[in-house]
Structure 1
Amino acid sequence: MQPTLKTLLISTMLISSVYCSAVNAQATIPPAKNVVATPENAMMLTVFLKHDQSRPLGEIKAQLARQGFYKAFPPAGVEVVSWNIMMGIGQVVTVRFAASRLAEVNLALENTAWGSYRTEFYPTYDFKSIALAEQIKARTVE
């Protein structure tokens, strides 16, 4: 039995209605600020803050100050794992936080870094202990 056009339209409208309700419900839930990162809920994020090389550094710093970048990023309770300068690229920041705070971290950057930097985001995990174990394993097996 093939569905009629009317049945398909009604189904689409119902699905769309349920989806919109879920999205609206999510939008009204306040962000989970100050949730502590634990091994069960933590995530790391590496952020590339790419310099606009057509602008002098002083101009970029002034804009960051006007936008309150260093006041807002990282949000309180977000751990900075590393913050490095990558010459020719810009700044590379890795932060650790409870996954439920992802939107808060993103908004802190959108509201204060955009205009001074182009941003790229990469989910990150710590591979050092795994790589070291693999090195030891490879070096002991002859």
Structure 2
Amino acid sequence: MHTDTTPTDPQSTVRITLLLKHHAGLVLDDVQSRLKASNWWFDFPPPGVKIVSWEVVMGFAQICILEVPAHRLAEVNVELERRAWGVFKVEVHPSYDFVPVRERIKQRVLAGGQ
């Protein structure tokens, strides 16, 4: 028996970090041409998915952090398959904002804790 475990709460979000690494052998013109052909610049991410940040780490990858309504995670995956495959090697990692956690730890350490 298959049970759908996709969260359906419209308020629930997940943060994912994408590592988008160009395929070896593709020059910039190839990359741009393929991204244009897949309508990447207009259709990714899907509407309603927030781009938290998008950085280029030269010589490594583009690092894109998205905040995704949890019930739409599969849709983001499908759009990556449609638009990024063949251009990027895609890695997807769940992530979270560590800044508030760091600040709590810092305050705890200042107060004598660990």
Q: Same fold (TM over 0.5)?
A: yes
Equivalent residue pairs, number: 110
Which residue of the partner structure matches residue 121 of structure 1?
A: 92
The one-letter amino acid paired with 1:69 is: W
One-letter code aligned to 2:51: V
- SS of the aligned residue for 1:76 comes to coil
Q: Which has the higher contact order (CA 8 A, sep 6+)?
A: 2
1:90 aligned to 2:61? Answer: yes
Aligned with residue 70 of structure 2, among 96, 99, 104: 99
Q: Where does residue 42 of structure 1 map in the other structure?
A: 13
C-alpha separation in 1, matches of 2:25 and 2:68: 33
TM-score when normalising by structure 2? 0.85
Unaligned ranges ≥5, structure 2: none
Unaligned segments of structure 1, at least 5 residues: 1-18, 27-31
Q: For the residues of structure 1 that align with 2:34 and 2:80, how far apart are their CA atoms?
A: 13
Q: Which structure shows the higher strand fraction?
A: 2
Residue 69 of structure 1 corresponds to which residue in structure 2? 40
Cα distance in 1, alignment partners of residues 75 and 53 from structure 2 = 19
How many percent of aligned residue pairs carry the same amino acid? 31
SS of equivalent to 2:101? helix
Rg larger for: 1
Deviations 1:82-118 (A, max 9, x none): 1000111221101012111001001111100100100
CA root-mean-square deviation: 2.1
TM-superposed CA distance for 1:141, in Å, is 3.1
1:60 equivalenced with 2:24 (yes/no): no
Say whether residues 1:51 and 2:22 are aligned partners.
yes
Deviations 1:20-41 (A, max 9, x none): xx37xx6xxxxx8xx85x3xx1
